[in-house]
Amino acid sequence: MPADFRASAQAPLADTQLRANFRRAMDGLISKRSAQFADPKEWKDLRSLGAAVRARSLLRLPQLLEALEAKLTANGIQVHWAETVEQGNAIIEGILARRGVTLAVKGKSMVSEEMHLNHALEQKGVEVIEADLGEYIIQLDHETPSHIIMPAIHKNTQQIARLFSQKIKDAEYTEDVAALTDLARRVLRRKFEDAGAGISGVNVAVAETGTLVLVENEGNGRMCTTVPPVHIAIMGLEKVVERLEEVPPILSLLTRSATGQPITTYVNMISGPRRPGEKDGPEEVHVVILDNGRSRIFADPQLRATLRCIRCGACMNHCPVYVRVGGHAYPGVYPGPIGKILTPQMAGLEVNGDLPHASTLCNACVEVCPVEIPIADLLVRLRREGGHNTHSTVKGVNSHHSAAETWIWRGWRLVYQTPMLYRLTSFFLSRFGWLVPASAPGLKTWTAVRSKPRFAARTLHDLVRDEKVPHE
Amino acid sequence: MAHPRPTPRPQAVYFFGTCLIDLFYPGAGLAGIKLLQSQGIEVIFPPDQSCCGQPAYSAGHSEEAAAVARAQIALFAKDIPIVVPSGSCAGMMKKHYPELFHGTPMQAEVEDFSARVYELTQFLVDVLDLRLDDLGAPAKVAYHPSCHAMREMGVGDQPKSLIRQLAQVELVNIPRERECCGFGGTFAVRHAEVSAAMVGDKIDAIGQTQADVVISSDCGCLMNIGGALEAAQRPTRPLHIAEFLWERINAR
């Protein structure tokens, strides 16, 4: 059934606490980011570099993935390819079953959300504990992330305090943030020690060295990838770059855009399992490379820019729609502007074809995107793909075709490209347009919170004629 | 995107009035023309002009948008600037026309057309260096920058710099002034409740400034913000920047 963003936006719009939580959080993130990019030239240059790195990587994506696989394998990392979410889950289930794992710890990974991995593993009797604090909070409350970087951003301290006191054994109610963090830390410490496997995401994969780069602030990523005997990394197939030297600009853009940090507390560069003679590190390292519709997006030269995304979340932080409805109003895993272009391409326009319309095309996201994804242009493109019979590779193309809408726009074209018809139409509208009742379709929606637009008695064309403004 | 070539002060310009101004805010269009004429510029208004095509383009109907765009392009053939009293329509003509006609036989012609497009305040400040003599009564005004003026046309301080020239006018900033007002064409109807929340917050922010007038250089924003101000019976009056400036220098 098609997902209806308009319907799912109603509850959050009416939730004043939720809207206040998002507004406060987004205001903070916007000002932290802008402090990081105070020098416009530095921002412009770094951003061009980041965009070029991502665009160049995508241009050679098949070759880079092959090179990555070869290098990872040479480093002792086992590479698994998953075309679908189901295949990805089955691969991970297989690894865990072979090792007899019943408890896994997991660092933050949006791809694992895409796979609904926790649910799949729980079905197989594996307990998965989210080790990122935000993810841990929402896991306790059986929620999904409302933001790709700050998954529990929709909750305030009081809400988290209540949740911890209810869900964590022997926890007393406290609103002290340090005490709450310590509480989660103590629970998670034991889980790290007991877990048979650690699962993580990947921020960048480097083809020339076979390195998996993972940034994080809490050390939970370091724990997940080094303490348990098995480490399984999951990545979307677009995450690869060719050279190690391409990593610093990407990381700089990522952390400064995301949280306003010049660098994260931890930068993990994983290049293999524990080697003979080494005292720590996992015995096995696996990487699951997931497609899940990405190669279809890759096939279209314009829409391919969607895959440049480095998942910083700046687009949602600056989005006037996101700040009012929060991440849970969006269908799919990725909210905000990136979700509006990514989700419909992954799930298909037949399911999420309305989503690209849920934007004013204000371009606030385009302005801050650190890899220059032309999000507004791609939204317009997807609107077009939804309603037209074109020869594109987009999933669900033409599924929102409406004969009525097509004829309305054909009529519109006829009026606006034929001067005589336009003169006639504007003549009647300026004289009789006021007769259109405020309750007319479309206008009724507009006038719910606004006065009815008033046609001027004389058009600019009329005034210009009166004033004898030259015609040519 | 083509950039405007450095323009020496031209003798004549074209004026593209936009469809919203034509039908709803003709006074803004006429004021724009008079501001240009007051600087000794001959203004040419091709009478067969209608709409830039943006409504169809944004809705995803690019064939219809291109057909209407083609009809406009043919009317502005002379090699003189095209001045548009709307950042949004100007952005359509400058940024999206070249995309619409890329790879077609019209590409070169369209690129030449787009390179000549200016948003009104950009032209008044950057090309004409307009000087204003304020004859109006003391007033407090707020300026709402339109998204497309800022982010498609690269309009920066030009509108505010014009307002700041007015001796009797106090210019106040709207909190979160760069945030969209929620218009977005069909968005206002298709996602009506989100749009209503956005414009509701916008008029509250304007209310905080206690401005007598809220000025914009885009009539789409003005229709949305002004309509919401009126429906909520707020005292602030919405006005297009051209009309506001023309009123001030003529002491109406």
Q: pLDDT tens digits, residue range B62-80?
A: 999 999 999 999 999 999 9
Q: Tell me: the pLDDT tens digits for A404-425? A: 989 999 999 999 999 999 999 9
**pLDDT value at position B7?**
62
Out of B29, B147, B192, closest to residue A363 by CB: B147
Answer whether residue B100 shows pLDDT above 70.
yes
**pLDDT value at position A468?**
93
Average pLDDT of span A224-230:
97
Q: Looking at chain B, which residue has its C-alpha nearest residue A423?
A: B48
For residue A2, what pLDDT band results from cuts at 50, 70 and 90? low
**Least trusted range by pLDDT, from A61-70, A356-365, B40-49, B243-252:** B243-252
Whether residues A464 and B57 touch (CB distance < 8 A) is answered with: no
**Least trusted range by pLDDT, from A80-89, A210-219, A394-403, B233-242:** A394-403
For residue A391, what pLDDT band results from cuts at 50, 70 and 90? confident
User: For helices B26-37 and B241-249, what crossing angle results, to 10°?
Assistant: 60
Best to test chain A binding among B1, B20, B21, B22 (most A CBs inside 10 Å): B22
Average pLDDT of span A185-202:
97
Residue in the structure block whose two tokens are 């006429």: B30
CB atoms within 10 A of CB A80: 19
Q: Tell me: the pLDDT tens digits for A441-472? A: 889 999 999 999 999 999 999 999 999 999 88
Answer whether residue A158 shows pLDDT above 80.
yes
Whether residues A456 and B26 touch (CB distance < 8 A) is answered with: yes
**pLDDT value at position A228?**
97
Cβ-contact B220, B194 below 8 angstroms: no
Answer whether residue B14 shows pLDDT above 60.
yes
For residue B1, what pLDDT band results from cuts at 50, 70 and 90? very low
Cβ partners under 8 Å of residue A95, min gap 6 = A197, A230, A232, A284, A286
Q: Tell me: the pLDDT tens digits for B196-228? A: 999 999 999 999 999 999 999 999 999 999 999
Q: How far is B12 from chain A (nearest CA, A)?
A: 10
A340 and chain B in contact, CB less than 8 A:
no
Out of B26, B188, B227, closest to residue A460 by CB: B26
**pLDDT value at position A389?**
67
Best to test chain B binding among A360, A390, A402, A463 (most B CBs inside 10 Å): A360
In chain A the first and final C-alpha atoms are separated, in Å, by: 55
Average pLDDT of span A98-110:
97
| Secondary structure (3-state) at B213 | strand
Q: Looking at chain B, which residue has its C-alpha nearest residue A367?
A: B151
Average pLDDT of span A48-67:
98
Answer whether residue A65 shows pLDDT above 70.
yes
**pLDDT value at position B6?**
54
Out of B61, B226, B231, closest to residue A449 by CB: B231
| Backbone angles phi and psi of A207, in degrees to 5 | -70, -45
Out of B29, B64, B191, closest to residue A413 by CB: B64
DSSP string computed for A436-460: S-TTSTTHHHHTTTSPPP---SS-H
Cβ-contact A254, A77 below 8 angstroms: no
3-class secondary structure per residue, A190-246:
HHHHHCCEEEECCCEEECCCCEEEEEECCCHHHHHHHCCCEEEEEEEHHHEECCHHH
In chain B the first and final C-alpha atoms are separated, in Å, by: 40
Best to test chain B binding among A18, A367, A444, A460 (most B CBs inside 10 Å): A460
ipTM: 0.96
Whether residues A461 and B67 touch (CB distance < 8 A) is answered with: no
Cβ-contact B232, B203 below 8 angstroms: yes
For residue A97, what pLDDT band results from cuts at 50, 70 and 90? very high
Q: Looking at chain A, which residue has its C-alpha nearest residue B26?
A: A460
Average pLDDT of span B123-137:
96
d(CA B139, CA B237): 12
Out of B17, B44, B71, closest to residue A460 by CB: B17
Share of chain A above pLDDT 70, in %: 99
Label the pairing between strands A284-290 and A230-236. Answer: parallel
B99 chain-A contacts, CB cut-off 8 A: 377
Q: Looking at chain B, which residue has its C-alpha nearest residue A317?
A: B179
Best to test chain A binding among B41, B50, B150, B203 (most A CBs inside 10 Å): B50
Out of A358, A361, A413, closest to residue B191 by CB: A358
**pLDDT value at position B251?**
76
Cβ-contact B245, B31 below 8 angstroms: yes
For residue A388, what pLDDT band results from cuts at 50, 70 and 90? confident
Label the pairing between strands B12-15 and A284-290. Answer: unpaired
What is the Rg, in whole angstroms, of the alpha carbon atoms belonging to chain B?
A: 18
